[in-house]
């Protein structure tokens, strides 16, 4: 097989393990804390997770662990969107299993959770693992968004795991996938099966984090890749001085990616969805905010600039949020009927009486393209597929129109020429940064320790991530500790609580200090590409978000 020179060099990279995982595996003991509670809805969750609710936090300590050397069989699933570092989670898990006992086996379920439901798997071997070490992508076994939710799906997952003689299933996924992992762990316990389930926190979106999970793997590489691209565009804009670039950035609901990229690149404008919601801004207010910068820069003869737009922004502008929620509820019940209607105006007439008057009016006034996009399929977890909604184009069109009005009033005298971009898939499969390569590997290795020590219902976690990797602190967090109830598909469901941007947090506050100046004066930063080799201050830096959120942990 042909491989690039760089890929070959990356195979040789040895991820740095935290000291807590570097000793002999039989000398890694588990230390349990006190029982835990969920973040909300405790009584409801206790009833749903009768057998797995309230487990204690786990840390790894020096000590003897006589369970660890048993031969084990584990299955691994990559679930949801790709995130750099996923191959290293699998490599860490594999290396742990083999270190524990060379006779242990690791199976990879193909194409996401459906691989477990349909019993599609491969046995992972040294040569397979070695050809994916430190590489991006999820192509080692593929990924998918199928949710294990029906009684038959749970039963066939159990059946297939039993057929393979599995001791454990490891699910590498985001908040929804780890919620699914929690339900699977509970199902096995309820059926008196000793098959264990362990999760690993994955998502470029950065929204699977809390007091115990400092970051999901993949965020670091994705934001650094997008920041490089934004910096390149800023340099182009500053050279040609003729375009406004409207850049939508992946990240689903939360604006963590956009915020980190803004801290890295200092664009003229970066919208933060959570702030727009808090301020109850309408779509027109957002457009006026953008126009304000464009008008001021035009006065300085700077008819160019960069606007960053989080992909989920439409779900946070209160009027749009209400419309989307109403559409979600209607689609949960009437989707099949709606899809049978061919013409879009007739679809609007079908929806009209079911929507509130305000939402009906808004849907009819949106550009046709956007209105259609709002009706597209939800993902299997009930989420609007915001990556498919062309928000950057909506804002470009509305900005152009508003600038026309301002020109007529004599307020705006510049030239406006806009280009739209969407950065998402460009960053999800990049070679993992050293941070993500180390972090993914440590999460996988930690998952092995949890499995070998007989635990289930935990997500593998690594703390103190702003310190050098050898000082990271691995352990396990019970799934139920991160859960609450939320509306999905029109009814309340247990889910791991998503972390949105905290407007009181240091990353947002730092951004807020700089942004008014950036909006008018060109203050672009050019972060350049991810560096894999060289001094630690260039290659091993975590994101600004992580540093700002956890600076107290730097030792």
205 binds ligand FBP (CB under 6 A): yes
Among 250, 429, 452, 461, binds ligand FBP (CB under 6 A): 250
User: Binding string, 95-134, against ligand FBP, x = CB under 6 A?
Assistant: ----------------------------------------
The token pair that represents 105 in the structure block: 């086996």
Residues 407-436 as x/- pattern, contact with ligand FBP by CB under 6 A: -----------------x---x--------
**Which of 175, 205, 360, 436 is labelled catalytic?**
205
Among 133, 209, 252, 297, binds ligand FBP (CB under 6 A): 252
81 binds ligand FBP (CB under 6 A): yes
- Using CB under 6 A as the binding rule, the residues of this chain from 137 to 196 that contact ligand FBP are 174
Instruction: List the structure tokens of 149.
Output: 């939710």
Tell which positions 474-513 bind ligand FBP, by CB under 6 A. none
- Within 8 A by CB and 6+ apart from 504, the residues are none
- Interacting span for ligand FBP (CB under 6 A) from 78-86, 109-117, 450-458, 487-495: 78-86
What's the order of all strands across the beta sheet hosting 269-270? 269-270, 305-310, 244-249, 418-423
Site of tokens 């080692």: 140
Query: What are the structure tokens assigned to 328, written together?
Result: 């979600």
Taking the least distance from each CB to ligand FBP, the nearer of 204 and 465 is: 204
CA–CA dist 213, 476 (Å, integer): 10
Query: Which residue matches tokens 């013409």?
Result: 343
Phi, psi for 517 (deg, rounded to 5): -70, -45
Mention every residue, 6+ apart, whose C-beta is less than 8 A from residue 306: 230, 233, 234, 237, 244, 245, 247, 265, 267, 268, 269, 524
Among 203, 227, 265, 293, which residue interacts with ligand FBP (rule: CB under 6 A)?
203
Residue positions counted in the chain: 555
Closest CB to ligand FBP among residues 46, 378:
378
Residues 156 and 158: their CA atoms lie apart, in Å, by: 5
Residue nearer to ligand FBP on the CB measure, 428 or 550: 428
Least distance CB 175 / ligand FBP (angstroms): 7
Q: Write down the least CB distance from residue 20 to ligand FBP, Å.
A: 27
Nearest distance in Å: CB 389, ligand FBP: 10
Angle CA(206)–CA(287)–CA(416) in degrees, nearest 5?
Answer: 110
The nearer residue to ligand FBP, 52 or 391, going by C-beta atoms, is 391
Interface residue with ligand FBP, options 26, 42, 232, 387 (CB under 6 A): 387
CB of 203 to ligand FBP, least distance (A): 3
Nearest to 328 by CA among 288, 374, 362: 374
Q: How far is the CB of 27 from ligand FBP (least distance, A)?
A: 35
Our answer to whether residue 205 is catalytic in this structure is yes
Interaction mask 20-59, ligand FBP, x per CB under 6 A: ----------------------------------------
Burial class of residue 441, CB neighbours in 10 A (0-12, 13-18, 19+): buried
Partners of 461 in beta bridges:
475
We find the least distance from the C-beta atom of residue 300 to ligand FBP, in angstroms, to be 35
Number of residues that bind ligand FBP (CB under 6 A): 15
For residue 162, the tally of other CB atoms under 10 A from its CB is 11
Quote the tokens at residue 510.
């730092």
The CA-atom distances, in angstroms, between 51 and each of 77, 159, 458 are 23, 20, 13
Report long-range pairs for 400-407 (Cβ below 8 Å, ≥24 apart).
402/284, 402/287, 402/288, 402/291, 403/291, 403/294, 403/295, 406/291, 406/295
Give, rounded to a whole angstrom, the gap between the first and last alpha carbons of the chain. 44
Q: Does 386 bind ligand FBP (CB under 6 A)?
A: yes
Min CB(79)–ligand FBP separation in Å: 7
Q: Give the pair of three-digit tokens for residue 334.
A: 């009437």
316 vs 524, beta carbon nearer ligand FBP: 316
Note whether 250 and 423 are within 8 A (CB): yes
If one asks whether residue 251 binds ligand FBP (CB under 6 A), the answer comes out as yes
CB of 174 to ligand FBP, least distance (A): 4
Binding region for ligand FBP (CB under 6 A): 80-81, 83, 174, 203-205, 250-252, 311, 386-387, 424, 428
Q: Which residues are designated catalytic?
A: 205
């Amino acid at each position: 097989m042909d491989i690039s020179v760089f890929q070959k060099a990356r195979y040789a990279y040895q991820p740095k393990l935290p000291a807590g995982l570097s000793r002999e595996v039989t000398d890694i003991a588990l230390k349990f804390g006190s029982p835990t509670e969920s973040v909300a809805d405790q009584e409801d969750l206790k009833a749903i997770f009768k057998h797995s609710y309230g487990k204690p936090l786990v840390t790894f300590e020096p000590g003897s662990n006589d369970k660890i050397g048993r031969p084990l069989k584990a299955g691994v699933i990559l679930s949801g969107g790709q995130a750099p570092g996923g191959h290293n989670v699998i490599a860490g898990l594999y290396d742990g299993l083999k270190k524990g006992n060379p006779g242990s086996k690791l199976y990879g379920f193909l194409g996401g959770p459906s691989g477990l439901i349909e019993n599609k798997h491969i046995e992972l071997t040294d040569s397979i693992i070695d050809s994916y070490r430190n590489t991006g992508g999820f192509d080692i076994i593929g990924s998918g968004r199928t949710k294990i939710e029906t009684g038959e799906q749970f039963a066939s997952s159990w059946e297939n795991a039993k057929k393979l003689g599995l001791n454990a299933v490891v699910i590498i996924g985001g908040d929804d996938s780890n919620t699914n992992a929690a339900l699977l762990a509970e199902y096995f316990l309820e059926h008196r099966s000793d098959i264990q389930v362990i999760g690993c926190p994955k998502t470029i979106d950065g929204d699977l984090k809390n007091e115990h999970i400092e970051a999901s793997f993949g965020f670091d590489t994705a934001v650094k890749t997008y920041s490089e691209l934004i910096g390149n565009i800023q340099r182009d804009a500053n050279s040609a001085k003729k375009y406004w670039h409207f850049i939508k950035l992946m990240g689903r609901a939360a604006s963590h990616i956009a915020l980190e990229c803004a801290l890295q690149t200092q664009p003229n404008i970066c919208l933060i969805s959570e702030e727009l919601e808090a301020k109850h801004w309408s779509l027109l207010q957002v457009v006026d905010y953008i126009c304000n910068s464009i008008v001021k820069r035009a006065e300085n003869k700077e008819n160019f600039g960069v606007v960053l737009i989080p992909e989920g922004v439409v779900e946070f502008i209160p009027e749009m949020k209400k419309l989307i929620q109403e559409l979600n509820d209607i689609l949960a019940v009437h989707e099949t009927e709606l899809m049978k209607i061919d013409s879009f105006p007739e679809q609007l007439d079908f929806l009209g009486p079911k929507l509130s008057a305000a939402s009906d009016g808004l849907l009819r006034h949106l550009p046709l393209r956007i209105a259609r996009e709002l009706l597209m399929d939800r993902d299997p977890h009930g989420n609007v597929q915001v990556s498919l909604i062309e928000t950057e184009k909506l804002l470009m069109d509305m900005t152009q129109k508003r600038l026309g009005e301002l020109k007529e009033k004599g307020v705006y005298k510049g030239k406006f020429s806009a280009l739209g971009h969407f950065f998402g898939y460009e960053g999800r499969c990049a070679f993992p940064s050293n941070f993500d390569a180390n972090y993914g590997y440590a999460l996988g290795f930690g998952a092995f320790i949890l499995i070998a020590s007989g635990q289930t219902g935990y997500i593998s976690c690594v703390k103190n991530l702003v310190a050098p990797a050898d000082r990271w602190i691995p352990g396990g967090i019970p799934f139920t500790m991160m859960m609450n109830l939320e509306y999905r598909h029109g009814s309340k469901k247990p889910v791991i609580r998503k972390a949105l941007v905290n407007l009181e947090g240091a990353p947002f506050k730092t951004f807020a200090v700089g942004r008014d100046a950036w909006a008018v004066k060109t203050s672009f930063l050019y972060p350049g590409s991810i560096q894999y080799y060289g001094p630690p201050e260039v290659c091993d830096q975590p994101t600004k978000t992580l540093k700002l959120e956890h600076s107290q942990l730097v030792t």
